[in-house]
């Protein structure tokens, strides 16, 4: 069966991917790729005249606004040190809220920009983390979560926007996750995570001071409450009860009746109601692509939109008036651009043009969803990027990319880093190894307490897929990844030392015992779930040592590059410091890049330029020629 699948893939690649072509493909610098602007978010102003969003045009994220009719974006914040993440306009004026931390440490505070453009920290609690939740129905307050009372638990607070004095709304003593508050403020929807595969949902009745358990069950079933209806009578939630995939249900607070609302052949990622409950928006994770659906609650039918722009539509948001809808369109060759649709006229308008005009999209490549077989016959999905003219000049090198997690997913989207690497002659295969999300809960469970085993087999077998193309040199395949993907890089070099030509680890775990002992306190609600999946450092130390690359670093013989943010609260710098020193002791080439002003991920453009260009130089140095045996 395995050869047959490879044969089908080879034929598909021959039919779908470009050959040598007649036009020369231009190579671009990383500076040119990162001159492309990254934007996200979107909050309509109270009068629907403007939209608030985030952009890194200045090299770091700041808040911008733009007229819904188009025009020039106006920069609203002037941060040069820490990224600003705008979340919402005020309900009745042009003030807005944003979040910001200190150098990527994830200790966010909630800030307000007032009518004069002056910033004010609304949560100035030293050492405490605060995140915005949502506005109250009357628009006189907003809710935020904060761990100032107990660093382990995020309590829910209500902030009056006249006095800006917060009051605790729900004291969270048991590590619940807060989902929503009913319009009448009587009910709080909560969830409790037991493992990544098993959770419960509750409603707390503030009037009766009682907690109602809505999901008593046996076995592994997830329940995720999302939103109350505007009349406070129903709660919408997602569950995978009796299914491989998550689907949408509702719960009637008066009768206790459950109803299935929407199902799909893939996971429903989220679903929510517009402000007055006229529309319902659903996002489906369709084979690593987002599929958006918008339903008219009055008619019960999907909204009939005009022909939309080519690409993947994401991040749909509807204004409070329910007259306008914002959305983003992206693709593997094009970054996200912001659009606004008018329900009254049926017309839409593109507001931004994020791509650097120096880059010809024809020089970039399309991502293709492919599948191959692993060592045990399990079918592994992946996202493949083939360089233009790959068959023309002999065999080429390739890079296996492993996503973060555990439990993340490589998706079809625009990546400046991947397009940069492909543009410089490397095939890239982004693997969704066993344990990745998006392919059903059975697939998701397959790497529990088996990390660095079957999931690593899936990465190694990706080389056979690349080899089967006929134009990739199997001896010049490297492996790269970030966070959990960085761990997989280190595991590959330590446990399969001859398989990959080189490895690039971006802030990956080298010592699971230490990482699990140093989990940020605000992750308390998720701690047990992580221990169940990975191991408890108090009781499973031997197992965790066995899967930690640091303690097997003597096996590493292939070149390694490590990149790390000094302020990373999830994978602390010691993880990278020690693996670098251990591998250097082997006499193996090691390069190490530390960014003093970054955390778990590199946000500043100047750091991305330095890091990504260093990665390409490292790959060129060690993979242009076959590795020495």
8 Å CB contact between 372 and 382? yes
The pLDDT of residue 627: 53
8 Å CB contact between 492 and 459? yes
What average pLDDT does range 601-622 have in this prediction?
Answer: 97
The pLDDT of residue 522: 87
Residue 245: band (very low, low, confident or very high) from pLDDT cuts 50, 70, 90: very high
Q: Three-class SS of residue 432?
A: coil
Percent of the chain whose predicted confidence (pLDDT) is above 90: 92
- Whether 629 has a pLDDT exceeding 50, the answer reads no
More confident: 492 or 14 = 492
Cα–Cα distance, 119 to 126 (Å, whole number): 18
- Whether 542 has a pLDDT exceeding 90, the answer reads yes
Cα–Cα distance, 74 to 77 (Å, whole number): 9
Structural domains of the chain ordered from first start: 2-17+358-511+548-623 (3.40.50.1820), 38-175 (2.120.10.30)
Cα–Cα distance, 573 to 580 (Å, whole number): 11
Q: Which is catalytic among the residues 315, 568, 576, 597?
A: 568
What average pLDDT does range 574-586 have in this prediction?
Answer: 98
Query: Counting beta carbons within 10 angstroms of the beta carbon of residue 229, is it exposed (0 to 12), middle (13 to 18) or buried (19 or more)?
Result: middle
The average confidence (pLDDT) of the chain is 94
The pLDDT of residue 22: 62
- Whether 5 has a pLDDT exceeding 60, the answer reads no
The pLDDT of residue 392: 87
The pLDDT of residue 393: 77
The pLDDT of residue 13: 38
Token pair 């079957």 is found at: 454
Q: Three-class SS of residue 581?
A: helix
The pLDDT of residue 2: 37
The pLDDT of residue 12: 36
Q: Three-class SS of residue 608?
A: helix
Q: What is the 3-state secondary structure (H, E, C) of 370-389?
A: EEEECCCCCEEEEEEECCCC
Q: Three-class SS of residue 510?
A: coil
Cα–Cα distance, 341 to 349 (Å, whole number): 6
pLDDT, tens digit, 9 for 90 and up, residues 83-132: 999 999 999 999 999 999 999 999 999 999 999 999 999 999 999 999 99
DSSP symbols for 254-304: TT--EEEEE--SSEEEEEEE-TTSSEEEEEEEETTEEEEEEEETTTTEE--
pLDDT, tens digit, 9 for 90 and up, residues 150-173: 999 999 999 999 999 999 999 999
- Whether 611 has a pLDDT exceeding 70, the answer reads yes
The pLDDT of residue 9: 38
pLDDT, tens digit, 9 for 90 and up, residues 39-81: 999 999 999 999 999 999 999 999 999 999 999 999 999 999 9
Q: Which is catalytic among the residues 65, 83, 334, 483?
A: 483
Cα–Cα distance, 228 to 203 (Å, whole number): 11
- Whether 15 has a pLDDT exceeding 50, the answer reads no
Clarify whether 568 is annotated catalytic: yes
Peptide bond into 313 cis (omega under 30): no
Going by the DSSP 8-state scheme, the letter that residue 438 receives in this structure is: S
Residue 579: band (very low, low, confident or very high) from pLDDT cuts 50, 70, 90: very high
Clarify whether 483 is annotated catalytic: yes
Cα–Cα distance, 34 to 36 (Å, whole number): 5
Cα–Cα distance, 38 to 56 (Å, whole number): 6
pLDDT, tens digit, 9 for 90 and up, residues 270-309: 999 999 999 999 999 999 999 999 999 999 899 999 999 9
The pLDDT of residue 20: 64
The pLDDT of residue 625: 72
- Whether 10 has a pLDDT exceeding 60, the answer reads no
Cα–Cα distance, 451 to 431 (Å, whole number): 15
Chain centroid to CA 455: how far? 20
The pLDDT of residue 388: 96
What average pLDDT does range 18-23 have in this prediction?
Answer: 59
Q: Which is catalytic among the residues 388, 403, 600, 622?
A: 600
């Amino acid at each position: 069966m395995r050869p047959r699948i490879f044969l089908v893939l080879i034929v598909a690649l021959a039919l779908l991917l470009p050959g040598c072509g007649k036009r020369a493909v231009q190579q671009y610098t990383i500076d040119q790729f990162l001159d492309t602007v990254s934007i996200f978010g979107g909050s309509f102003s109270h009068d629907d005249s403007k939209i608030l969003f985030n952009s890194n045009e200045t090299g770091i994220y700041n808040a911008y606004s733009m007229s819904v009719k188009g025009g020039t974006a106006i920069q609203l914040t002037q941060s040069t040190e820490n990224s600003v993440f705008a979340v919402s306009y005020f309900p009745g004026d042009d003030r807005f809220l944003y979040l910001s931390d200190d150098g990527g440490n994830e200790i966010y505070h909630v800030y307000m920009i007032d009518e004069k453009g002056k910033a004010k920290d609304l949560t100035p609690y030293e050492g405490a983390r605060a995140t915005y939740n949502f506005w109250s129905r009357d628009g006189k307050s907003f809710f935020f979560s904060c761990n100032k009372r107990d660093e382990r638990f995020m309590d829910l607070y209500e902030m009056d926007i006249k006095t800006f004095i917060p009051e605790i709304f729900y004291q969270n003593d048991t590590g619940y996750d807060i989902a929503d508050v009913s319009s009448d403020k009587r009910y709080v929807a909560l969830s409790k995570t037991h493992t990544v595969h098993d959770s419960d949902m509750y409603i707390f009745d503030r009037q009766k001071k009682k907690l109602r358990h809505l999901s008593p069950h046996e076995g592994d079933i997830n329940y995720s409450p999302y939103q109350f209806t505007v009349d406070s009578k129903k709660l919408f939630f997602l569950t995978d009860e009796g299914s491989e995939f998550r689907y949408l249900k509702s719960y009637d607070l008066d009768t206790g009746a459950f109803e299935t609302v929407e199902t799909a052949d893939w996971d429903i990622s989220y679903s929510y109601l517009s402000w007055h409950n006229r529309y319902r928006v659903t996002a489906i994770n369709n084979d690593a692509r987002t599929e958006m659906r918008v339903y008219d609650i009055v008619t019960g039918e999907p909204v009939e939109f005009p022909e939309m722009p080519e690409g993947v539509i994401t991040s749909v948001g509807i204004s409070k008036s329910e007259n306008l809808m914002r959305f983003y369109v992206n693709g593997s060759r094009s970054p996200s651009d912001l659009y606004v649709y008018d329900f009254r006229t049926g017309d839409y308008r593109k507001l931004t043009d994020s791509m650097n005009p120096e880059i010809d999209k024809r020089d970039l490549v399309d991502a293709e969803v492919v599948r191959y077989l692993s060592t045990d016959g399990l079918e592994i999905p992946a996202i493949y990027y083939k360089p233009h003219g790959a068959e023309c000049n002999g065999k080429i090198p390739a890079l296996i990319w492993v996503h973060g997690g555990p439990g993340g997913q490589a998706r079809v989207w625009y990546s400046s880093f991947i397009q940069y690497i492909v543009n410089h002659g490397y095939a890239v295969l982004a693997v969704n190894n066993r344990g990745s999300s998006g392919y059903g809960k059975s697939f998701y469970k397959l790497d529990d307490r088996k990390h660095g085993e079957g999931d690593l087999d899936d990465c190694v077998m990706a080389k056979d897929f690349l080899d089967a193309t006929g134009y990739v040199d199997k001896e010049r395949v490297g492996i790269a990844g970030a966070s959990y993907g960085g761990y997989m890089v280190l595991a590959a070099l330590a446990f399969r030392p001859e398989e990959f030509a080189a490895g690039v680890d971006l802030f990956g775990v080298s010592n699971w015992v230490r990482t699990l002992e140093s989990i940020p306190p605000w992750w308390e609600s998720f701690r047990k779930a992580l221990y169940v999946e990975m191991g408890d450092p108090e009781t499973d130390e031997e197992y965790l040592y066995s899967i930690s690359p640091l303690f097997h670093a003597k096996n590493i013989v292939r070149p390694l590059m490590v990149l790390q943010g000094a302020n990373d609260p999830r994978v602390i710098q010691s993880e990278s410091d020690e693996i670098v020193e251990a591998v250097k002791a082997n006499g193996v080439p090691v390069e190490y890049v530390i960014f003093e002003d970054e955390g778990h991920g590199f946000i500043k453009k100047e750091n991305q330029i330095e890091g990504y260009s260093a990665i390409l130089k490292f790959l060129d140095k060690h993979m242009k020629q076959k590795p020495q045996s």
